[in-house]
Amino acid sequence: MTASALVVGLGSRDRGDDGIGPAVAEAVATLALPGVHVVEQEDPTALLDLVAEHDVAVVVDAVRSGSPPGTVRAWDVGAAPAPADGWTATGRGGTHAFGLATAVELGRALHRLPPRLVVVGVDGADFDIGAPLSAAVAAAVPAAVAGVCSALREVGVDVPG
């Protein structure tokens, strides 16, 4: 099976740990996975147009779930009803507090989600403008890439390893 797959690194590289999404997207892009389109996106309001065109989408974003910085978790958020375990804690708030969870729930209400939508979240601590990734979050990049690859494998995308 070949799925139309998208990986979105959500976040801003110049806002500390919020840059985890783009950092993971960059690492996934270097794998050059056939049939997998990889993009970086700063604004969560643009997600619906991006994900609607694919069979599977994996979105990587910073989260605040109360776990230690660098903790990596995945949520299958495409399935109804919405997951409860920490799901609404995702995102930095985005444009006027419109974050990832809000974008996904809007997509659910409008029936614009792909058949499979997975969020790989990495707990962050420092979201200051101009700050780099914290050491704990930077160290979590390989685990987050592994989470993305695992989600892709589950839907039949040929991912080595």
Say how far apart CA 76 and CA 138 lie, in whole Å: 23
Which amino acid type is present at position 80? A
CB of 113 closer than 8 Å to CB of 53: no
Q: Which of 43-57, 88-102, 124-138 has the highest mean pLDDT?
A: 124-138
The Cα angle at residue 89 between residues 120 and 13, in degrees rounded to 5: 60
Looking at residue 79, its pLDDT comes to 57
* Homologous superfamily assigned to 5-154: HybD-like (3.40.50.1450)
CB of 88 closer than 8 Å to CB of 38: no
Model-level pTM greater than 0.75? Answer: yes
Q: How do the domains of the chain map onto residue ranges?
A: 5-154
CB of 75 closer than 8 Å to CB of 83: yes
Average pLDDT, the chain: 85
